[in-house]
Structure 1
Amino acid sequence: MSWGETPTGHVEIVTDPLNTRSVAAAGTDDRSMSADSDIGHVHLEVSSVETARTFYADVLGLRVRAMYDGAVFPAAGDYHHHIRANVWQRRSKPHAGQGLACFELRLPDEATLGATRERLR
């Protein structure tokens, strides 16, 4: 599922399958993604939408941009979402060899970092 803004400013959601073979192939030739590239957002499968909402909104300080049945969409600022956390597959345990090992959230300044540190305490 991905979001895209139409020329009229409306956000549309579409579901397109990921071609994993082409993604894997991109890492082996000159079309590889640069090490300093940024990814705009990630989609996470979680076991609890409410726990994800609490962590990303209340602890990290992201703004909940939308909530749908089984999903929460937090973002920094006014972007439509930087993270989608959902329970749509109804899984509660990680699958061996699958998934995202980590991702990095960049904060805009030291004041935001300090406020986030305080909430984490």
Structure 2
Amino acid sequence: MKDPGKLGAQRKAVGRERILKDGKLEKVGGRQMFRNLKTGDVETERTITIRLPNGKFANVPSFNPRTGRDYKTEGAAYRGARDEGYTIKSYDTIAQAEAAAGSKSRRLGQELRKRGY
């Protein structure tokens, strides 16, 4: 089956394969779905909570499915999100940022479970 991905950078998603359905990329919440080959888990994006230079907190991708990049440090993840044009929403406290990340994760997880993943 031909891989319909349009971004060559996605091939850099080492240790992951894109999930296809009927020959098309499977998406949830507008995000491409990947299977982690090591764990078997389905991933759409992985984020970390960081402290911004202004003292606020934000959730930024540590694995970005649009580029296939894995960021190993908070600084690299922040620079990657900024350089890739992400809108970085900030929160006053780490608890608020983590609550927002948890809510998003639960919402995506519910959708994945509905689809049998």
- Give the alignment's TM-score, normalised by structure 2: 0.25
Which structure has more relative contact order (CA 8 Å, sep 6+)? It is: 2
Higher Rg of the two aligned structures:
1
Higher percent of residues as helix: 2
- Give the alignment's TM-score, normalised by structure 1: 0.24
Higher percent of residues as strand: 2
